[in-house]
Amino acid sequence: MITLTIAIFLMGVIVVGLLNKYPKTAGIIAFFVSLIPFFALLSWSSVMNITLPSYLQFLNFETSWQYNLGPGTLILQITPLGWFFLLLLSSLFPMVILFSISYFRSNAGGFYAAMLLTMLGSFGILLAQDMLTFYIFWEIMSWSILALVIRGGDRKAIVSYLSFGALSAMLILFGFMLLYFKTGTFVFAEMHLDASNLVLAAITLIVSGFAVKGALMPMHVWAPHVYSKSEEPFVAFLSGGLSKLGYFGIMLFMYGVVGFSLLSSWGTFRGVPLFGYSLAVVGAFTAFAGTVLAVMQDDLRKLLAYSSIGQLGYIAIGLGIGTPLALTGALFQALNHTFFKAVLFLAAGAVYYRTGKYKISELGGLGYKMPFTFLASLFAIFALAAIPITSGFAAKWLLYEAAIEKKFLFVTPIMLIAGVGAFLYVYKILYGVFLGEPRYNVKEAPLSQLVPMWILVLPLIIFLIFPGWFVDLTAPILQGYEMTAIPHTPYTINTSLAKYNTLAVIFAFIGTLIFAFILYLSKPQEKVDHMDNYLAGEPPELYDYISMHASSKYYEPFEEVFYPYFKRGAERMWEIILAAGEVFGSGARKIYTGIVGDYSIYILLFFLIMVGWWLLW
């Protein structure tokens, strides 16, 4: 079946690519192809100890697959971790394709072809059991992303993605080579690693390579450019789905291949492996800086891009701390981020589809015109801001608990402040785009755009009520790392520090809402126009050409305070590194003088050093 899947995907790519003239047909074909990974997921549910009714498992996929390729064997096999991330990607992907059917009016064949290729690549990555397969599929995914970035047509985005993608691939490849050099095998299960510095170097390289895809600072430079200059459905999939592959890789190599005990053997700091501690600190910095930068943006997509970077930082914190609590929190945050960020990007796409604008200061008042888009993004925003009426809170809560449990005294305040900063930028979206003065007389987004958004909101509500089901999902993953799942019932989570009972929160909230509703019904009310506003007695109808929307430069005092610290930015850092590299390079070029005598001296020196080393050894 897996062979067939890959074949169908490749055929789909060709067919869809040829149907460039017929965007709707191409979209529908792509949608049906895109459902296959989800059916595979259903048929593999026994990996997670879930029994589904048989009519959901009508396609029967084998759990492992091998293909003999000259130097090694390609091995694909479903694992609990792979299943979990496949759940995120395969449920997001069809929705994104469904959204694109009405989003693209022409020239969509290439888009669907490249999207199918990215999904094929991610499918392979999540199932890969050896480094060779992993790397092959990783490259398929990366290059097809490049094709989609090129479709966006922004030079800066292409260059930054290309350079950082190459950097990421080089780092990963180098790490893989070191691991192969050390162990002599590509297969994860056959690797026997020890606590040598070589392995440490390899894992550092690999993790920093994945950090590029996960947009961890300072490797995030490509993300705002790409997110803000590509087509919206693709960005939703990139930010919601593909960025998780970076964290999948980090988790796979840190806890699957290397393991917690080996990580601890390179030194621990206050009970946490030093390696993980530094990852957590980087994650916290990313969460904070991403948030501050998001507050300063005016372009809706740039804002979401920086917020993405900030929210992904939380996953890095969880992966760094590495206790069962923290890993559960990180996976939960990954799940939430997949859905709410996809909804937000799709909503941005729907807004663009109707108004043709991305600038927050040029939008306004769409909440009453596009109520369902507004409500879907309101839920997503609640999840992003971790308001306890969506599942977003449980994830952040687990991460906070994990940090306090390990006594992270300096990281936790930064996490919390980044959480408060999230309120600032989500309100900018709410006010700038959906509330305030209605400026556009537009219709609601088409149904084929609303349906994906609302389907993607569902998990946020389900896992709000039953966070225990999520913890059940993490149990097999943690078992693989010789950890046990955190104590839970369907609607409570217990930690060593406290307890979180979602049922109590929900029922209390419903009760208080009823109380408030009775108060609210006490008196009738009349609806007034937004023009009937208190403006110091000015009759606004005389001044209808003056905008009452205060959304341009909304957080100006904030920018005044923070801009001086952030104006340099990471791009500047990379420029300095490049300049240094250039100086070093031109210095190195002087060695190649072109005179034979010089070269012979070099060779002599080289031999002397080698002999000297050998003698001294």
Partner 1 sequence: MVNYIDLTIQILVAIGVTALGFAIGMLFNGIARKITARIQNRVGPPIYQGYIDVLKLFTKKTNISHGWIFDLAALFSVAGIALAFLFLPVAGVSLLSGEGDLFLILYLLAIPALGFALGAGASGNPNAAVGIMRALMTMLAYELPLVMVIIAMMVYYDTTSLAVIVQKQANMHWAIFIPVFFIGALVADMALQGMLMEKPFDIPIAPHEIATGPMVEFGGKHLGALMLYKMMGIVVETTLFVDLFLGGGVILSVSQFGWLAYVVNFIVWFLLILFVFFIALLINAVFPRFRIEQALKFYWKYDALVGLLILIWIFVGVTP
Partner 2 sequence: MNHENWSKLARIMSKRSLWMIHFCTGCGAMEMPPVMTSRYDMERFGMHAMATPRQADVFLVTGYLAVKTLKRVVQVYEQMRDPKYVIGFGSCTINGGMYWDSYNTIKDLSKYIPVDVYIAGCMPRPEAIMDSFLKLFDMIDKGEAIGWQKYHKYYDQYKRNQRMAFSYRLDEVKDIKEDDKE
Using CB under 8 A, list all residues that contact partner 2: 532, 534, 536-539, 542-543, 545
Min. distance of Cβ 544 from partner 2 in angstroms?
Answer: 9
Quick check: 170 and 151 in contact, CB under 8 A?
A: no
Of 536 and 615, the one with the shorter C-beta distance to partner 2 is: 536
**Contact partners, residue 293, CB within 8 Å, separation at least 6:** 306, 309, 566
Q: Does 545 bind partner 1 (CB under 8 A)?
A: no
Min. distance of Cβ 537 from partner 2 in angstroms?
Answer: 3
Tell me which of partner 1, partner 2, none is bound by residue 530, counting a contact when its beta carbon lies within the kind-specific cut-off of 5 to 8 angstroms: partner 1
What tokens appear for 104 in the block? 């693209």
Min. distance of Cβ 547 from partner 1 in angstroms?
Answer: 9
> Rg for the chain (alpha carbons), in Å?
26
Rounded to whole angstroms, how far apart are CA atoms 191 and 193? 6
Of 46 and 533, the one with the shorter C-beta distance to partner 2 is: 533
Q: Does 504 bind partner 1 (CB under 8 A)?
A: yes
Q: Which residues of 333-342 are buried (b: 16+ CB within 10 A; e: fewer)?
A: bbbbbbbbbb
Min. distance of Cβ 549 from partner 1 in angstroms?
Answer: 7
Of 270 and 568, the one with the shorter C-beta distance to partner 1 is: 270
Tell me which stretch binds partner 1 (CB under 8 A): 39-47, 50-58, 512-520, 573-581.
512-520
Tell me which stretch binds partner 1 (CB under 8 A): 6-14, 78-86, 251-259, 510-518.
510-518
Of 17 and 540, the one with the shorter C-beta distance to partner 2 is: 540
Considering only residues 554-583, where is the footprint of partner 1 by CB under 8 A?
554-555, 557-558, 560-561
Q: Report DSSP letters for 335-403, one per residue.
A: HHHHHHHHHHHHHHHHHHHHH---BGGG---HHHHSHHHHHHHHHHHHHHTT-TTSTHHHHHHHHHHHH
Residue 607, CA distances (Å) to 593, 612, 617 in order: 20, 8, 15
Of 524 and 594, the one with the shorter C-beta distance to partner 1 is: 524
| 35 backbone dihedrals φ, ψ, rounded to 5° | -75, -20
Residue 556, CA distances (Å) to 75, 204, 363, 450, 563 in order: 54, 40, 18, 34, 10
Q: Which of 423, 440, 454, 469 binds partner 1 (CB under 8 A)?
A: 423
Tell me which stretch binds partner 1 (CB under 8 A): 51-59, 248-256, 332-340, 527-535.
527-535
Tell me which of partner 1, partner 2, none is bound by residue 537, counting a contact when its beta carbon lies within the kind-specific cut-off of 5 to 8 angstroms: partner 2
Q: Which of 163, 505, 570, 571 binds partner 1 (CB under 8 A)?
A: 505
Rounded to whole angstroms, how far apart are CA atoms 368 and 438? 8
Q: What angle do CA 90, 330, 413 make, to 5 degrees?
A: 145
Tell me which of partner 2, partner 1, none is bound by residue 545, counting a contact when its beta carbon lies within the kind-specific cut-off of 5 to 8 angstroms: partner 2
Of 21 and 499, the one with the shorter C-beta distance to partner 1 is: 499
Rounded to whole angstroms, how far apart are CA atoms 84 and 13? 26
What tokens appear for 186 in the block? 């590509």
Rounded to whole angstroms, how far apart are CA atoms 472 and 466? 10
Give the SS3 label for residue 303.
helix
Min. distance of Cβ 525 from partner 2 in angstroms?
Answer: 10
Rounded to whole angstroms, how far apart are CA atoms 372 and 136? 41
Tell me which of partner 1, partner 2, none is bound by residue 290, counting a contact when its beta carbon lies within the kind-specific cut-off of 5 to 8 angstroms: none
Of 521 and 536, the one with the shorter C-beta distance to partner 2 is: 536
The number of residues that bind partner 1 (CB under 8 A) is 77
Rounded to whole angstroms, how far apart are CA atoms 323 and 300? 36
**Residues 323-352, mask of contacts with partner 1 (x by CB under 8 A):** ------------------------------
Q: Which of 517, 543, 599, 606 binds partner 1 (CB under 8 A)?
A: 517
Considering only residues 484-503, where is the footprint of partner 1 by CB under 8 A?
492, 497-501
Of 62 and 437, the one with the shorter C-beta distance to partner 1 is: 437
Tell me which of partner 1, partner 2, none is bound by residue 542, counting a contact when its beta carbon lies within the kind-specific cut-off of 5 to 8 angstroms: partner 2
Task: Walk across the sheet containing 499-501 and list its strands.
Answer: 488-489, 492-494, 499-501
Rounded to whole angstroms, how far apart are CA atoms 150 and 113? 14
Rounded to whole angstroms, how far apart are CA atoms 293 and 537? 38
Quick check: 284 and 417 in contact, CB under 8 A?
A: no
Tell me which of partner 1, partner 2, none is bound by residue 522, counting a contact when its beta carbon lies within the kind-specific cut-off of 5 to 8 angstroms: partner 1
Kind plus residue range of the DSSP H or E element containing 252: none
Q: Does 232 bind partner 1 (CB under 8 A)?
A: no
Q: Using the structure block, give the residue that is written with the tokens 């064949």.
A: 109
Of 267 and 585, the one with the shorter C-beta distance to partner 1 is: 267
Rounded to whole angstroms, how far apart are CA atoms 392 and 378? 13
**Residues 349-388, mask of contacts with partner 1 (x by CB under 8 A):** ----------------x-xx-------------x--xxxx
Of 229 and 406, the one with the shorter C-beta distance to partner 1 is: 406
Tell me which stretch binds partner 1 (CB under 8 A): 128-136, 159-167, 248-256, 422-430.
422-430
Q: Which of 192, 525, 597, 616 binds partner 1 (CB under 8 A)?
A: 525
Tell me which of partner 1, partner 2, none is bound by residue 54, counting a contact when its beta carbon lies within the kind-specific cut-off of 5 to 8 angstroms: none
Q: Does 109 bind partner 1 (CB under 8 A)?
A: no
Q: Report DSSP letters for 155-201, one per residue.
A: HHHHHHHHHHHHHHHHHHHHHHHHHHHHHS--BGGG----S-HHHHH
Min. distance of Cβ 5 from partner 1 in angstroms?
Answer: 42
Considering only residues 242-281, where is the footprint of partner 1 by CB under 8 A?
270-271
Of 538 and 575, the one with the shorter C-beta distance to partner 2 is: 538
Q: DSSP character for 546?
A: S
Considering only residues 388-417, where is the footprint of partner 1 by CB under 8 A?
388-389, 393, 396-397, 400-401, 404, 406-407, 409-410, 412-413, 416-417
Of 492 and 547, the one with the shorter C-beta distance to partner 2 is: 547
Rounded to whole angstroms, how far apart are CA atoms 162 and 177? 22
Q: Report DSSP letters for 436-469, one per residue.
A: SS-----PPPPHHHHHHHHHHHHHHHHHHH-HHH
Q: DSSP character for 487?
A: P
Tell me which of partner 2, partner 1, none is bound by residue 539, counting a contact when its beta carbon lies within the kind-specific cut-off of 5 to 8 angstroms: partner 2
Min. distance of Cβ 395 from partner 1 in angstroms?
Answer: 12
